[in-house]
Amino acid sequence: MASEAYLLHMGPQHPSTHGVLHIQLSLEGEWVTAAEVEIGYMHRCFEKHAQYLTFPQIIPYVDRLDYVAPLAGEHAYVLAVERALGWEGQLPKRIEYLRVLAVELNRIASHLLAIGTYAIDLGAVTGFLWAFRDREYILQLLEEWMGARLLYNFIWVGGVSFDLPLGYIDKIRDFIPHLLLNISEIERLLLDNRIFRDRTAGVGVIPLEMALAYGASGPVLRACGLAWDLRRVEPYSIYPEIDFDIPIGKGEMGTLGDCWDRTYVRFQEIHQSLRIVRECVDRLEKAYPPGDAFDPRGLSTKKARAREATSLYASVEGPRGEIGFILEVEKNKDIPRRLKARSPSFAHLSMLPALAQEGMWLADFVALLGSLDVVMCEVDR
Q: Which fold has domain 43-357?
A: Cytochrome-c3 Hydrogenase; chain B (1.10.645)
For the segment 180-206, the average pLDDT, to the nearest whole number, is 92
Residue 16 predicted with pLDDT over 90: no
Using pLDDT thresholds of 50, 70 and 90, give the confidence band for residue 15: low
pTM confidence score: 0.94
- In the chain, the percentage of residues whose pLDDT exceeds 70 is 98
Phi first, then psi: give them for residue 342, nearest 5 degrees: -100, 120
For the segment 19-42, the average pLDDT, to the nearest whole number, is 89
Category of 362 on φ-ψ map: left (φ > 0), alpha (ψ -120 to 50) or beta: alpha
pLDDT at 288: 85
- In the chain, the percentage of residues whose pLDDT exceeds 90 is 74
In the chain, the N- to C-terminal Cα span, in Å, equals 46
Work out the number of other CB atoms within 10 angstroms of the CB of residue 36: 13
CA 222 to chain centre: 14
CA distance 328 to 309: 8
- What is the b/e burial string over 245-256, where b = at least 16 CB atoms within 10 angstroms of the residue's CB? ebbbbebebbbb
Residue 141 predicted with pLDDT over 60: yes
Least confident of 143-147, 188-192, 258-262, 293-297: 293-297
CA distance 207 to 221: 9
Which of the two residues, 302 and 218, has the higher pLDDT score?
A: 218
What average pLDDT does the chain have?
91
Residue 2 predicted with pLDDT over 60: no
CA distance 86 to 59: 19
For the segment 102-123, the average pLDDT, to the nearest whole number, is 94
pLDDT at 1: 44
Using pLDDT thresholds of 50, 70 and 90, give the confidence band for residue 13: confident
